[in-house]
């Protein structure tokens, strides 16, 4: 339908394009600046820490992330909060890239 067509038009373009202007986290949403001199990458990681703290996650919990982009939050939660993450995304390009990033992250 129209929604799938919009997703393809906006997100299913090569990840290399987004790598040109996103930071290393590949987080395509607002950042959380805890200090005025923070880099974009640091602010994105601060956002992930902030989200994890608000969720009050405990090891072994299961989190579902809907619209997971390139998987940065899912990888962060699995790695630093010791939770199982199921991430879904309608973008096949982002899903393929996030699977690769998850494998690389261990």
Q: Quick one: pLDDT band at residue 2, thresholds 50, 70, 90?
A: confident
Which contiguous run of DSSP H or E holds residue 53?
helix 40-55
- Confidence at residue 74, expressed as pLDDT on a 0 to 100 scale: 97
Distance CA 30, CA 103 (A): 25
Q: Which two tokens stand for residue 55?
A: 């969720």
Query: What's the pTM value of the predicted model, to 2 decimals?
Result: 0.88
CATH superfamily membership of 2-105: Vaccinia Virus protein VP39 (3.40.50.150)
Q: pLDDT-derived band of residue 5, with 50, 70 and 90 as boundaries? A: confident
What local confidence, expressed as pLDDT, does residue 72 receive?
A: 95
Percent of the chain scoring above 90 in pLDDT: 76
**Residue 20: pLDDT over 90:** yes
């Amino acid at each position: 339908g129209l929604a799938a067509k919009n997703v393809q038009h906006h997100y299913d373009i090569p990840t290399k394009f987004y790598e040109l202007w996103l930071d290393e986290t590949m987080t395509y949403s607002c950042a959380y600046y805890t200090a005025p001199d923070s880099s974009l990458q640091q602010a994105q990681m601060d956002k992930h820490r902030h989200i994890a703290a608000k969720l009050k996650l405990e090891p072994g919990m299961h989190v579902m992330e809907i619209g997971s982009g390139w998987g940065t939050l899912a990888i962060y939660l699995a790695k630093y909060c010791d939770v199982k993450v199921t991430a879904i995304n309608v973008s096949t390009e982002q899903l393929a890239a996030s699977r690769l990033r998850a494998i690389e992250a261990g």
